[in-house]
């Protein structure tokens, strides 16, 4: 059913196309930070702040317009009243939705490398363990609950923050101190490969590509 004005429908199938029932999943991901001093890690698309313990995701879909209203108020969007909207939140990490904590299991960490996602001053990478309700996809998973297993620094500073090497060094030092303070006991690695050797990513099946089907 098409629902006009439906909120976010950007569920990324790379992070969840099949339910996953048991155990925990390990994956690599990125966060943004809004500053180098005492600013917690935040999701790149869902601006939920992460703590050092168990993080629990929530669905942040905004209320969406009902079908009937779409017809009644087609001519004048200003006529909408509270009753025109319905609660568009999912039951939690549903496949059609985009909520939950995502992470890559293929090791590529594309959002980090491409600096994809919203602002802040930097992208920070790290490895998480996801559990609770999870869905898995060809590149990774989305999980209802997650803990940070380790962080990887230095961060990737947004270029507008950094005018020269000295500036970069200062910011990276501040950020590291801040991470130590906010996430006590969570190891910080300076090398992604070493981090992944210490916390191996869960193997999930890559979906078959056409050129891998032996059809010539």
Q: Which is nearer to Zn ion, 93 or 121 (CB)?
A: 93
Q: Which is nearer to Zn ion, 76 or 164 (CB)?
A: 76
Using CB under 5 A, which residues numbered 89 to 118 contact Zn ion? 90, 97, 99
Q: Which is nearer to Zn ion, 9 or 38 (CB)?
A: 9
Peptide bond just before 157 cis, omega within 30 deg: no
Which pair of structure tokens corresponds to residue 101? 């904590």
Residue whose entry in the numeric block shows the structure tokens 């001053």: 121
Q: How far is CA 117 from the centre of its chain?
A: 9
Sketch the per residue contact string, 138 through 157, with Zn ion: x for CB under 5 A, - otherwise: --------------------
d(CA 169, CA 26): 31
- Which residue in the set 28, 41, 69, 103 belongs to the binding site for Zn ion (CB under 5 A)? 69
d(CA 98, CA 194): 30
Q: Which is nearer to Zn ion, 93 or 195 (CB)?
A: 93
Minimum separation from the CB atom of position 171 to Zn ion (A): 34
Minimum separation from the CB atom of position 111 to Zn ion (A): 19
84 binds Zn ion (CB under 5 A): yes
Closest CA to 206 of 52, 46, 17, 21: 17
DSSP 37-61: SS---B-SSS-PBP-SS-EE----P
d(CA 74, CA 40): 42
128 binds Zn ion (CB under 5 A): no
73 binds Zn ion (CB under 5 A): yes
Minimum separation from the CB atom of position 94 to Zn ion (A): 6
Q: How many CB atoms lie within 10 A of CB 160?
A: 8
Q: Which stretch binds Zn ion (CB under 5 A): 18-26, 72-80, 136-144, 166-174?
A: 72-80
Q: Tell me the three state secondary structure of residue 29.
A: strand
Q: Which is nearer to Zn ion, 16 or 126 (CB)?
A: 16
Q: Which is nearer to Zn ion, 79 or 167 (CB)?
A: 79
Name the β-bridge partners of 20.
134
Interface with Zn ion (CB under 5 A):
59, 69, 73, 80, 84, 90, 97, 99
């Amino acid at each position: 059913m098409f629902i006009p004005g439906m909120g976010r429908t950007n569920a990324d199938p790379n992070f969840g196309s099949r339910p996953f029932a048991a155990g925990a999943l390990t994956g690599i991901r990125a966060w943004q930070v809004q500053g180098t001093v005492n600013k917690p890690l935040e999701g790149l698309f869902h601006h939920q702040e992460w703590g050092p313990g168990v993080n629990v995701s929530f669905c942040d879909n905004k209320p969406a317009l009902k079908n009937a209203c779409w017809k009644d108020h087609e001519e004048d969007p200003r006529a909408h009243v509270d009753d025109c909207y319905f609660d568009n939140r999912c039951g939690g990490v549903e496949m059609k939705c985009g909520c939950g904590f995502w992470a890559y299991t293929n090791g590529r960490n594309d959002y980090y490398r491409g600096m994809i996602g919203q602002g802040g001053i930097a992208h920070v990478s790290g490895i998480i363990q996801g559990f609770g309700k999870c869905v898995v996809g060809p590149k990774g998973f989305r999980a209802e609950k997650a803990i940070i297993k380790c962080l990887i620094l230095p961060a990737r500073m947004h270029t507008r923050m950094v005018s020269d090497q000295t500036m970069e060094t200062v910011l990276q030092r501040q950020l590291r101190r801040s991470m130590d303070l906010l996430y006590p006991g969570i190891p910080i690695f300076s090398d992604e490969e070493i981090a992944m050797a210490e916390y191996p990513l869960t193997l999930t099946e890559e979906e078959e590509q056409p050129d891998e089907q032996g059809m010539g």
